[in-house]
Amino acid sequence: MQQRIAIKAFSLICRAFRHRAKQLLFTTLSFVMKEEFLGEFKRLNDVFSMNPRLASHVRVLELRVRGCSGLRDLFFEDRNLLECIGHISRNGFGHQPLHLEVYTYTHREQYPIYQGPSITRSRSFEAHFVPFIASRLTSMDIRDLSEVPVALFDTSHNLFDLHIEGITLAPFEDSKRGPIEKRPLIRELWVKESEDVVCNNCLRFDRLSKVTFCNYDEMTVQHVLLSPPLSLEYLGFDTEGMSLISRFHINATIQQLFILYL
């Protein structure tokens, strides 16, 4: 917030600074998913409607979810929020990077019984948000979300950098999914407790260059490393030390591997 205030002041110094200040102010958009903030969506939509070019500066989209309420229809049926997303989606030029970050306020360590917000409470998320934004995403960082629609991954065709932690998928019918060749070709992966996503072929790893497995899960590791990608340069395990070495197996040569972190 301090930084934003400073940037606003900076933009008033002279006209030459205005354009750069606008870029910086709109690089990261943070949506707080609380009812009290619905008015903020309207303000932002008014700004984008008057000056749609501002939406082209957005590179990071944050959805901050309150742990106890999750992502609800209320937000994704809000006309102003959806129009803001529409502005961002329409005004991105070519292959501009767009990063999506979804995280909760409360942390699991503080509330051990709490299982994370349920994204499926919002059918609108799948119907209104995913189709507009998924194909634009180049990187994603999502944590502590249960029952995420598989379409969020399946249709993120340009996604290459993924950080997932504590993610489970909503029930889905395999026959209704798009072709596997269109699913994201991941280059960098950081994964913790998200075997649902990795093991259901939501992602392709043929060009994976960097992977970190946090908290060893055999299914996840096997799925990614059963036929190790030739492009793999960094393999990391963020776990509790050497007991790991006897647990995981590499049965094939990984020609390009440059760094091993255990």
Binding positions for another protein, rule: CB under 8 A: 240-243, 245-250, 252-262
What do you get for the CA distance between the two ends of the chain, in Å? 38
Of 101 and 233, the one with the shorter C-beta distance to another protein is: 233
> Looking at beta carbons only, is 28 or 239 nearer to another protein?
239
Q: How far is the CB of 231 from another protein (least distance, A)?
A: 12
Q: How far is the CB of 219 from another protein (least distance, A)?
A: 15
Query: What is d(CA 203, CA 57) in angstroms, rounded to the nearest whole number?
Result: 28
**Nearer to another protein (CB atom), residue 6 or residue 252:** 252
Q: What is the DSSP string of 19-87?
A: HHHHHHHHHEEEEEESGGGHHHHHHHHHHHHH-GGGGGG--EEEEEE-TTT-S-HHHHT-HHHHHHHHH
Nearer to another protein, 97 or 236 (CB): 236
CB 90, min distance to another protein, A: 44
Q: What is the closest distance, in whole angstroms, from the C-beta atom of residue 190 to another protein in the complex?
A: 16
Q: In angstroms, rounded to a whole number, what is the distance separating the alpha carbons of residues 88 and 161?
A: 20
Yes or no: say if 156 and 108 are a contact pair by the CB < 8 Å rule: no
